Amino acid sequence: MQQVNWTDLQKILQQSRFSPEIEKKVRMIIDRVKEKGDEALFACTELFDGARIRKLRVSEKEIRASRRYFKGEIKTALQQARLRIEVYHRNQIPSKFVQKEKDCRIEFCWAPLDVVGIYVPSSQAPLVSSVLMTVVPAKVAGCQRIVVCTPPGRDGKVNPYLLSCLDWLGIKDIFKVGGAQAVAAMALGTESIPQVDKVVGPGSVYVNTAKKLLFGETGVDTLAGPSELVIFSDESGVPAVIAADLAAQMEHVGGTGILLTTCESLGRKVELLVRDGYWLLVKNEEQALNIINQLAPEHLQILCWNPSVFIPRAVAGVIFVGEATPTVIGDYFAGPSHVLPTQQAARHSSGVSVYTFLRSYAVIRASKDFLKKWGNTVKKMALLEGLTAHARSIEIRLTSGGKKWEERQKYTGKQKKQR
């Protein structure tokens, strides 16, 4: 590890987070997918993944062949993890809120997104954990169709462990495409890949850049990746434990590990145990908290005598407290999704949850009495803004509601009583 001061660390992180060159490349990929659809995806897959394919959809034959990998200890571990993740997310399902007044009823409702696209990276290994952490919340939310894109290996095949996990979860729409081109395909739609309402999942800087550029064409979850871990520890920290946790997150390509400590000797010991990453010596917990909140890290581990100083005030994607709670527990098993905001996005967005796959909307039912009581108030506000047509929309109802309107109001009232 390298000891740095706060000013230098800010410069280092800023350089890694913004790249005009990468944005230019991603724009070119998006334009190519928009123009040529599947043909562009075939070309990108050969160029970036070294795989020459002519069909994007994973075949039923490939899915059947993968099932022999879903067995034994692997099957048991995935089943146990799925159960925890499912229970946690079922507890998030919101109920409809109803505000009842004498002459007005307002409902705040939730509904699942119809079609969601999930990106599962696999450049290093079969990330079955990312499958669970995205697909399970989507299914709990009630999404009707889940489309998954994941890059193939050089043999043109999806990793069989990844494929068998997707099959086990009931996913049928699986496509062999990765990177920025996968995000573009799901956001825009191609001949083979349907356009989705939202793109969800972790990925490289290219995937995140594509999400940023395509927001508006589709919804996106958050900027999730590469991995980030900040650890705060006082003199009570165990150097070998801290080093192991930092190394675990930096095992991901492009991962960043940062130690903040009030104990210089602890920092020196950890520095000898970890090859990469950075550490900062801070004066006290308040200074550490200030730096943490400016970093807004994906993962925050608190290893100190008094963690309560940090828990209600720290800005992070997820907070892990104590030696028995390494970040790896959250990566695989605890329950909350490990798809979390990075690149300081935790300041304004949250990790993947059931809410990621839901949309909210309101239903308003006002009576004529409500309009009589408040119509002129609304009209005055409209006129204040110079929107005369808005004011007329109210005025016409106050002056000439008409017989048909009266009849419809009575009919609606009867329906309510019947219900």
pLDDT per position as a tens digit, 133-142: 999 999 999 9
**Domain end (from 315, 339, 359):** 359
- 233 and 217 assigned to the same domain: no
Neighbours of 117 (CB within 10 A): 30
Q: What does the pLDDT average to over 325-347?
A: 95
Q: Give the domain range for residue 170.
A: 19-221+355-359
Label residue 305 exposed, middle or buried (CB < 10 Å: 0-12, 13-18, 19+): exposed
Q: Is 263 part of any domain?
A: yes
DSSP conformation letters of 147-204 = EEEE---TTS---HHHHHHHHHTT--EEEE--HHHHHHHHHH--SSSPP-SEEE----
Contact 171, 141 (CB under 8 A): no
Domain assignment present for 315 = yes
User: Is residue 373 domain-resident?
Assistant: no
Choose the final residue of a domain: 335, 359, 383: 359
- Judgement on whether residues 143 and 247 belong to the same structural domain of the protein: no
Q: Are residues 210 and 269 in the same domain?
A: no
Separate counts of helices (H) and strands (E) for the chain: 16, 14
Q: For 9-36, how does the pLDDT look when each residue is reduced to its tens digit (9 = 90+)?
A: 998 888 777 689 999 999 999 999 999 9
Nearest of 165, 160, 109 to residue 134 by alpha carbon: 165
Report the percentage of the chain scoring pLDDT > 90.
89
Closest CA to 167 of 155, 159, 178, 177: 159
Domain CATH number, residue 239: 3.40.50.1980
Same-domain status, 210 and 282: no
Helix (H, G, I), strand (E, B) or coil at 363: strand
Q: How far apart are CA 239 and CA 232, in angstroms?
A: 12
Does residue 142 lie within any of the structural domains? Answer: yes
Structure tokens at 235: 């003199």
Is residue 232 located within the same domain as residue 215? no
Count of structural domains within the chain: 2
Q: Residue 253: its pLDDT value, please? A: 85
322 domain residue, yes or no: yes
Measured distance CA(138)–CA(118) in Å, rounded: 9
Q: Check pLDDT > 90 for residue 403.
A: no
Shared domain check, 154 and 61: yes
Dump pLDDT digits (tens) for 49-58: 999 999 999 9
From the candidates 86, 298, 348, 395, which is the catalytic residue? 298
- The reply to whether 86 and 147 lie within a common domain is yes
Is 298 annotated as catalytic? yes
Given a cut of 60, is residue 218 above it in pLDDT? yes
Given this model, what pLDDT does residue 15 score? Answer: 77
For CA atoms 44, 50, 53, 58, the dihedral sign is negative
Domain shared by 203 and 344, yes or no? no
pLDDT in tens, 60-103: 999 999 999 999 999 999 999 999 999 999 999 999 899 999 99
**Choice among 299, 323, 348, 385 that is catalytic:** 299
Instruction: Please say if the pLDDT value at position 240 is more than 80.
Output: yes
Residues 192 and 328 in one domain: no
Please give the pLDDT value at position 405: 61
Residues 170 and 288 in one domain: no
Q: Which of 325, 342, 359 is where one domain is finished? A: 359
Judge whether residue 358 has pLDDT over 80.
yes
pLDDT at 409 > cutoff 80: no
Whether 299 sits among the annotated catalytic residues: the reply is yes
Percent of the chain past pLDDT 70, that is, above it, reads 95
- Higher-pLDDT residue of 161, 225: 161
Residues 245 and 169 in one domain: no
Average pLDDT score, the chain: 93
- Are residue 114 and residue 248 in the same domain, yes or no? no
